[in-house]
């Protein structure tokens, strides 16, 4: 999945981007239980770090950090997982971030 990794910045409730591969790994692994799944840490890959810029109007631009996460997950809370799958994860879903792409493991 490609996400816009951010964290809340104290009492102001503003967001700031999460940067660096190790910080991104930690951020993602910390967040997954609330999304209804866990990721096997050894399977987690972080790639395609970058920035996407969207023009809202000619004068106003939105900038979103992006990171792609790939790994093997295990569902631990079916209802939370279904909600995450149906509605997406994190912020900037309207820009295509946070959509789970699931491929069942073949045995």
Nearest to 89 by CA among 106, 69, 107: 69
Q: Is residue 107 part of a domain?
A: no
Please provide the size of the chain in residues: 107
Please answer whether residues 61 and 18 qualify as being in contact, where contact means their C-beta atoms are separated by less than 8 angstroms.
no
Measured at the CA of 30, the angle between CA 63 and CA 71, to 5 degrees, comes to: 80
pLDDT at 11 over 90: no
Domain count, the chain: 1
Q: State the pLDDT confidence band at 1, using cuts at 50, 70 and 90.
A: very high
Pull the structure tokens for residue 84: 């995450």
Q: Which domain holds residue 24?
A: 2-95
Domain presence at residue 101: no
- What integer best gives the mean pLDDT of the chain? 91
Which CATH number does the domain housing residue 43 bear?
3.30.70.1210
> Would you say residue 100 lies in a domain?
no
Q: DSSP string of 38-62?
A: EE-GGG-EEEEEEEEEEESSSS-EE
Residue 105 included in any domain? no
pLDDT for 28 equals 96
pLDDT at 4: 92
pTM of the model: 0.86
User: Is residue 103 assigned to a domain?
Assistant: no
């Amino acid at each position: 999945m490609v996400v816009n990794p951010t964290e809340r910045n104290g009492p102001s409730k503003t967001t700031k981007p999460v940067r660096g591969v190790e910080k991104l790994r930690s951020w993602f692994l910390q967040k997954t239980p609330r999304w209804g799944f866990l990721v096997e840490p050894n399977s987690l890959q972080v790639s395609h770090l970058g920035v996407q810029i969207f023009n809202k109007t000619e004068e106003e631009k939105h900038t979103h950090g992006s990171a792609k996460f790939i790994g093997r997950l295990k569902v631990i809370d079916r209802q939370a997982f279904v909600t995450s799958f149906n509605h997406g994860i994190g912020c900037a879903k309207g820009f295509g971030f946070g959509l789970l792409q699931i491929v069942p493991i073949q045995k």
